[in-house]
Amino acid sequence: MSENKDQKFVYDFTEGNRDLKDLLGGKGANLAEMTNLGLPVPPGFTITTEACKVYLASGEAPAALRDEVSAHLAALEAKMGKKLGQSDDPLLVSVRSGAKFSMPGMMDTVLNIGLSDESVAGLASQAGNERFAWDSYRRLIQMFGKTVLDVDGELFEEALDEAKAAKKVAVDTDLDAADLKKLVTRFKKIVAKQAGREFPQDAREQLDLAVEAVFNSWNTDRAKLYRRQERIPSDLGTAVNICSMVFGNLGPDSGTGVAFTRDPASGHAGVYGDYLQNAQGEDVVAGIRNTVPLADLETIDKASYDQLMTIMTTLETHYKDLCDIEFTIERGQLWMLQTRVGKRTAGAAFRIATQLVDQGLIDEAEALQRVNGAQLAQLMFPRFDEGASTELLGRGIAASPGAAVGKAVFDSYTAVKWSRSGEKVILIRRETNPDDLDGMIAAEGILTSRGGKTSHAAVVARGMGKTCVCGAEDLEVDTKRRRMTVGGKVIEEGDVVSIDGSTGKVYLGEVPVVPSPVVEYFEGRMHAGADDADELVQAVHRIMAYADRVRRLRVRANADNAEDALRARRFGAQGIGLCRTEHMFLGERRELVEHLILADTDKERDEALSALLPLQKKDFVELFEAMDGLPVTVRLLDPPLHEFLPDITELSVRVALAEARKDANENDLRLLQAVHKLHEQNPMLGLRGVRLGLVIPGLFAMQVRAIAEAAAERKNAKGDPRAEIMVPLVGTVQELEIVREEADAVIAEVEAATGTSLKLSIGTMIELPRAALTAGQIAEAAQFFSFGTNDLTQTVWGFSRDDVEASFFTAYLEKGIFGVSPFETIDKDGVGALVRSAAQAGRETRPDLKLGVCGEHGGDPESVHFFHEVGLDYVSCSPFRIPVARLEAGRAAAESKGSDSR
């Protein structure tokens, strides 16, 4: 990262705005925006993410930074009428991290910079409050020691606990000035001993070290883990906000709080937040003392409350979205410390989007950008069965919805360990902190006994879409003894508990689950217009209607039986994009397939094929009926034949044992021979797909005949079958030409015999690099392409799709080689580039070539956007992912329309 001479590394809050998130981070950009809106923001300035990038790349802050900070600090001092650390009346500042994307609790903050042994007395006399000054000073040493000088934070906590115990008081507010003064001496000794240096008395040195610590906090393990989890790029860096301090700990007429402009769990308008009197910033989020609901502020300080309500309305109208805020009241004066578009539950996202449309704040296209497929998928999870007999253990705050069942664990280490060995766990803590992140990721759900809707556990769980119940105060969590007690009942580590993040209820044992109302709606068992349809279903219905109206991509299903096809249709599928016929060769039909494989003569083989024909035909009739009037792409047999034969080891043992007993079965012997003959070292690269069709005479012809006869039968029954025949694993046009010729002849025969005109189209999968590279030639023989991105990913990367995810993907993900498995989200630069060029080449040869995708990526939100962009006609995915694909196809279209008109 090189420095540009004219680059500006520091922006005053009056200079920025909310669009500068890349440069000023989310917090800095929004502080600037609020300042420009005329809201009461304490003055300050922001050091840019560019400065952080220089520091991270070179290990040193940019050369120009020091002078720029000095100039902005001087301006701030002039505005405030006092100097940083001035002994008789110190200006104090906070130093807060703030990246482009919110990373709650992941990076560092230091408050009260500017206090020293000298200026603490100045602060005391200015504030007329000695206790406050010493409390502020001990907080500075504690935060500075922990985050800047790497001192174990527990040591400060222990010293604080001892001070409280010595005085026989329960909360820190009961410690007086003299106690806090002693604590400061103790804290300074802890720093000197642990950090090997004295706590710095020079205010500017404190500031510079704190800024550096914030830069460094970008790369802590927990920040890296969070970024990986949330897919936040690792090279963005953080900005640093330096803000004049305002104090919530000046007495009962002061305090600090967090609030949402509407309920982040339901979307309902109202007063949602927590307030803590006589406290400073971090106390609320950390859930250290119990907060009161924000509504109580109305009685505590009506004027500030009214002003806050007005500001919240201003913010919601300005941002046109739910905002969350942090504020402080200093002796009756309200200050805004932060705002941002707030995280919300999946259900609230849908409801808020439609509420904002109704309020006229946003339009339908914007509403689509306010929700996403991952949220919709979450809403399709089952819920607990309310009718089930359950043992209610207690109730907390419904912080992040979902129904989670698992074994109780009381620390993150165990959560990770047990989940790695396949156990489902619920992480139970008194409260969580950023060190619990990996445990939270590993757990099915999170349960805490303390903290509100804005506690760390709640905020992080909502961000991850993980079930969370917090502040369940009846539970006494004893992490040391790895258990919790509720009304005399003891729940030990390993006992199963169920938590409901939508109601806040905590149950003992496993509670059965029922389908979500959103699935009931998609299934057609609940109607959005019905009186009893809940708000969520209505919101989902409206958003899906917007998506369907604007999307260009059609959505089909991967389904190979009538039941799945019917469900897919209810879920909005516009056809079947992949019917895998191999599933029709299993079960009781396996024996017929064995006959086919073992056939020695043409006659035997024809008999085996003739036995399979009516069965296949019946399958297709059912499928075409279920999808009447819609396209059904039937893929000819793909997997290697040995998959239909017994396991080689099992069969060898059986034959060996039988031979030892001298009663070897002739059929088993022939089977074993065939298994040996068909055995391949790399079956995925072996005799499968079109290759099978070319070496087993009659196999594909039988399948084509079954399809054609089924279509003719449906036609004669006045149906509207729209079959498409798809050839798998083609690498060169010659393969396709041979299969086509045979298929065309069979179809003509069936048409003649049944007196119908079937209009069957024949196309191919594009799932090998060679096929993609020669797509222009292949399109000569194909009426459609369907990209098989599973095999294409496997062959482009040279990754075995059956093995690599379990063997080394974890290491690859940890090393950041990719942020997500390429089998899950399309690798745009590699596999995606082939899809793009093949689509283009195919269309050059045949302008009306139909293009689709039927690999797993067809139902993946990010990949759907890519397929929209490269101009495919449809995506095909499993029935349950269809609503997600419809929504994302709508979002992609709305997004590209937006960018076209810009």
CB 223 within 8 A of CB 233: no
| Residues 769-808: x where in contact with Mg ion by CB under 5 A, - otherwise, as a string | -------------------x--x-----------------
CB 209 within 8 A of CB 145: no
Q: Which is nearer to ligand PEP, 355 or 789 (CB)?
A: 789
**For residue 732, what are the CA distances in angstroms to 65, 127, 744?**
60, 83, 19
Residue where the block lists tokens 């809940």: 534
CB of 577: closest distance to ligand PEP in angstroms?
9
DSSP state of 824: T
Cα distance between residue 32 and residue 515, in whole Å: 45
Q: Which of 188, 395, 552, 580 binds ligand PEP (CB under 6 A)?
A: 580
CB 524 within 8 A of CB 572: no
Annotated binding site: 580, 635, 767, 788-791
Radius of gyration of the chain (CA): 33
Residues 6 or more apart whose Cβ sits within 8 Å of residue 168: none
Q: Which is nearer to Mg ion, 414 or 793 (CB)?
A: 793
Q: Which is nearer to Mg ion, 387 or 798 (CB)?
A: 798
For residue 640, state whether it binds Mg ion (rule: CB under 5 A): no
Residue 789 binds which entry of ligand PEP, Mg ion, none, CB below 5-8 Å type-dependent: ligand PEP
For residue 559, state whether it binds ligand PEP (rule: CB under 6 A): no
Q: Which stretch binds ligand PEP (CB under 6 A): 236-244, 275-283, 521-529, 788-796?
A: 788-796
Cα distance between residue 52 and residue 40, in whole Å: 28
Q: Which of 87, 790, 821, 878 binds ligand PEP (CB under 6 A)?
A: 790
CB of 638: closest distance to ligand PEP in angstroms?
6
Residue 855 binds which entry of ligand PEP, Mg ion, none, CB below 5-8 Å type-dependent: ligand PEP
What backbone phi and psi angles, to 5 degrees, belong to 340?
-165, 165
Q: Which of 92, 854, 885, 893 binds ligand PEP (CB under 6 A)?
A: 854
**What's the full length of the chain, in residues?**
902
Which among 779, 790, 793, 795 is positioned nearest to 851, based on CA atoms? 779
For residue 504, state whether it binds ligand PEP (rule: CB under 6 A): no
For residue 858, state whether it binds Mg ion (rule: CB under 5 A): no
CB of 788: closest distance to Mg ion in angstroms?
4
Residue where the block lists tokens 């000054």: 133
Q: Which of 364, 638, 827, 862 binds ligand PEP (CB under 6 A)?
A: 638
Cα end-to-end span (Å), the chain: 31
Q: Which residue is nearest to Mg ion (CB)?
A: 791
Q: Which is nearer to ligand PEP, 25 or 858 (CB)?
A: 858
For residue 560, state whether it binds ligand PEP (rule: CB under 6 A): no
Annotated binding site for substrate: 580, 635, 767, 788-791
**Total chain residues near Mg ion (CB under 5 A):** 3
CB of 276: closest distance to ligand PEP in angstroms?
54
Q: Report helix, strand or coil for 325.
A: strand
CB of 732: closest distance to ligand PEP in angstroms?
17
For residue 324, state whether it binds Mg ion (rule: CB under 5 A): no
For residue 324, state whether it binds ligand PEP (rule: CB under 6 A): no
For residue 791, state whether it binds ligand PEP (rule: CB under 6 A): yes
For residue 264, state whether it binds ligand PEP (rule: CB under 6 A): no
CB of 684: closest distance to ligand PEP in angstroms?
9
CB of 855: closest distance to ligand PEP in angstroms?
3
The burial of 811, by beta-carbon neighbours within 10 Å (0-12 exposed, 13-18 middle, 19 or more buried), is given as exposed
For residue 427, state whether it binds ligand PEP (rule: CB under 6 A): no
Residues 6 or more apart whose Cβ sits within 8 Å of residue 252: 277, 278
Q: Which of 324, 767, 827, 862 binds ligand PEP (CB under 6 A)?
A: 767
Task: Give helix 130-143 / helix 153-166 axis angle, nearest 10°.
Answer: 150
Q: Which is nearer to ligand PEP, 357 or 768 (CB)?
A: 768
Residues 6 or more apart whose Cβ sits within 8 Å of residue 673: none
Residues 709-768, interacting with Mg ion (CB under 5 A): 767
Q: Which is nearer to Mg ion, 406 or 728 (CB)?
A: 728
Q: Which is nearer to ligand PEP, 276 or 771 (CB)?
A: 771
For residue 766, state whether it binds ligand PEP (rule: CB under 6 A): no
For residue 87, state whether it binds ligand PEP (rule: CB under 6 A): no
Task: Give helix 49-58 / helix 21-36 axis angle, nearest 10°.
Answer: 150
CB 380 within 8 A of CB 519: yes
CB of 846: closest distance to ligand PEP in angstroms?
22
Bridge partners (DSSP) listed for residue 428: 447
Question: Half-sphere exposure of 853 toward its Cβ, with a 13 Å CA cutoff?
Answer: 32
Cα distance between residue 330 and residue 293, in whole Å: 19
Q: Which of 20, 403, 518, 578 binds ligand PEP (CB under 6 A)?
A: 578
For residue 334, state whether it binds ligand PEP (rule: CB under 6 A): no
Active centre residues (catalytic) = 456, 854
Residue 114 binds which entry of ligand PEP, Mg ion, none, CB below 5-8 Å type-dependent: none
Q: Which stretch binds ligand PEP (CB under 6 A): 203-211, 430-438, 785-793, 815-823?
A: 785-793
Question: Half-sphere exposure of 577 toward its Cβ, with a 13 Å CA cutoff?
Answer: 33
How big is the CA angle at 122 (ends 180 and 138), to the nearest 5 degrees? 25
Q: Which of 94, 789, 795, 825 binds ligand PEP (CB under 6 A)?
A: 789
Q: Which is nearer to ligand PEP, 726 or 746 (CB)?
A: 726
**Total chain residues near ligand PEP (CB under 6 A):** 10
DSSP string computed for 369-390: HT--HHHHHHHTS-EE-TTS--
Max CA distance (Å), the chain: 107
Bridge partners (DSSP) listed for residue 275: 257, 292
How big is the CA angle at 519 (ends 513 and 523), to the nearest 5 degrees? 125
CB 378 within 8 A of CB 348: no
Q: Which is nearer to Mg ion, 179 or 791 (CB)?
A: 791
Q: Which is nearer to ligand PEP, 467 or 789 (CB)?
A: 789
Cβ neighbours, 10 Å, residue 19: 11
Annotated binding site for Mg(2+): 767, 791
Between strands 489-492 and 397-400, the pairing is unpaired
Residues in touch with Mg ion (CB under 5 A): 767, 788, 791
Footprint on this chain of ligand PEP (rule: CB under 6 A)? 578, 580, 638, 767, 788-791, 854-855
